[in-house]
Amino acid sequence: MSSQVRIGLAGFGIVGQGLTSILTGSAQWIERRLGRPVAVHAVALRDPHKQRAVPIPDGARVVSNPLELAQDPDIDIVVELMGGLGMAYDLIRLALASGKHVVTANKHLLAERGEELFALAAQKGVGLYYEASVCGGIPIVQTLKESLAGNRILAVTGILNGTSNFILSRMSSKGLTYQAALKKAQKKGYAEADPTLDVEGFDAAHKLVLLIRLAYGHDYPLNKLPVTGITGVTPLDIAYAKEFGCQVKLIGQAKMVDGRIMAGVHPMMLSQSYLLAQVHGAFNAVRVVGDAVGAVMLYGQGAGGLPTGSAVLADIMDLARDGAAPNNTGFPEKMLPPADILPPEEECSRRYFRFNVEDKPGVLAALAQALGDVGISIYQVVQKVDPSAPDSNIVPIVFMTHQAKQRDVEKALENIRAMPFVKAEPVHLRVL
């Protein structure tokens, strides 16, 4: 690399502008840390006339085609901050093939096509760094790749999506419905007009697949990951959670069970006493348990221009430090082996069930029997009038159970749905 670190920036939106602000505002500090300055050599803009809160850096060449960045001999590192799976893929592929380092925040692309892109980066001996793609400003990629490298990772558990966490926090603190809390999130700019990726758990799933690679050194295909979003979570279930001393959070978790990886993204109940239950609003947190280190937890802003820009800049600076070969996945293999996945029906966790049933004799016993028939052991039962419908003949009956296998849960639900006194689709949540 030259006396300057010259980056080519594709994507001048929230994160691109956040990165640029830091580069401009902290230029001297960055130069002192690195021993040389970081300069934006070129920026790819779709619309050069669009008003932007942050000016294009002085001296940066403006190009209209992002692919030009990949082939510009004066660029050391291509920074992809456009998002999406189309042009972003073409740019990263071409940049890696041209022997350039790449820094990206694009978890969706890496979760879908990471296997191929990391293999190409390894073949070319260049860096494909992505700290910003998992929980924005939280340095979890570096932590797993480097700081905890000597640990066998027993579990990674996180609140990986700020939008969902904001919505669930509002539902819990203000008693809002899901729809009302979503509107609030959209008004505050935490949720997009189409919030599907966030609220259906897909964004968290993208991040979890990347965390699994880093923690276990295995490829876990995105389409094999069990994912449930938060759209079915109701204020009633959040109120019951509180009665049990719990919060409801969208949790992404991967852990080793009998040498196989058990992973998924689901809304879960977790005890108020857990640190993860104290993570409110749009914040993210990741808890890692290593065999030597024990539990480590990172907490911070999972989105926003400056926090995410901070993570992008860390990757740029890391790649700009000449010396060791790039460490993309944390493992020396060119292709990571496929994960040995615990079949989803074998997944085991404590459960919360709510059944809306006719209020008549024998119902409670029949439900308990249906759970017992498949070997699910009950820990606690609550039956009381739904405060929102005090005169109704339909009442919720809630069960907390001991550890139950997903296969048994599904069988019990199938049997219970068929019972004539069950008047609504049963609700069930995992308990962390």
Q: Which residues bind ligand NAP (CB under 6 A)?
A: 11-16, 44, 46-47, 50, 66, 81-83, 87, 105-106, 132-133, 136, 303-304, 308
Distance between CA 274 and CA 428 in Å, rounded? 21
Which residue out of 50, 207, 255, 334 is catalytically annotated? 207
Q: Which residue is nearest to ligand NAP (CB)?
A: 13
- Cβ 297 to ligand NAP shortest distance, Å: 20
Q: What is the DSSP string of 125-158?
A: T--EE-GGGTTTT--HHHIIIIITTTSPEEEEEE
Distance between CA 48 and CA 43 in Å, rounded? 10
Q: Is 207 a catalytic residue?
A: yes
Listed in sequence order, the residues at least 6 apart from 331 whose beta carbon sits closer than 8 Å to its beta carbon are 217
Question: Measured from the CB atom, is 67 or 398 closer to ligand NAP?
Answer: 67
| H helices, E strands: number in the chain | 14, 16
Question: Measured from the CB atom, is 130 or 331 closer to ligand NAP?
Answer: 130
Tokens standing for 167? 């919505």
Q: Residues 394, 358: contact at Cβ < 8 Å?
A: yes
- Cβ 2 to ligand NAP shortest distance, Å: 26
Distance between CA 211 and CA 121 in Å, rounded? 19
Question: Measured from the CB atom, is 61 or 411 closer to ligand NAP?
Answer: 61
3-state secondary structure (DSSP) of residue 118: helix
Burial of 97 (0-12, 13-18, 19+ CB in 10 A): middle
Listed in sequence order, the residues at least 6 apart from 25 whose beta carbon sits closer than 8 Å to its beta carbon are none
Question: Measured from the CB atom, is 130 or 240 closer to ligand NAP?
Answer: 130
Question: Measured from the CB atom, is 42 or 289 closer to ligand NAP?
Answer: 42
- Cβ 87 to ligand NAP shortest distance, Å: 4
Question: Measured from the CB atom, is 158 or 290 closer to ligand NAP?
Answer: 158
- Cβ 128 to ligand NAP shortest distance, Å: 14
Q: What is the DSSP string of 395-415?
A: EEEEEEES-EEHHHHHHHHHH
Q: Residues 173, 348: contact at Cβ < 8 Å?
A: no
- Cβ 248 to ligand NAP shortest distance, Å: 24
- Cβ 365 to ligand NAP shortest distance, Å: 51
Query: Where do we find the tokens 């539990």?
Result: 295
User: Which residues are part of the catalytic machinery?
Assistant: 207
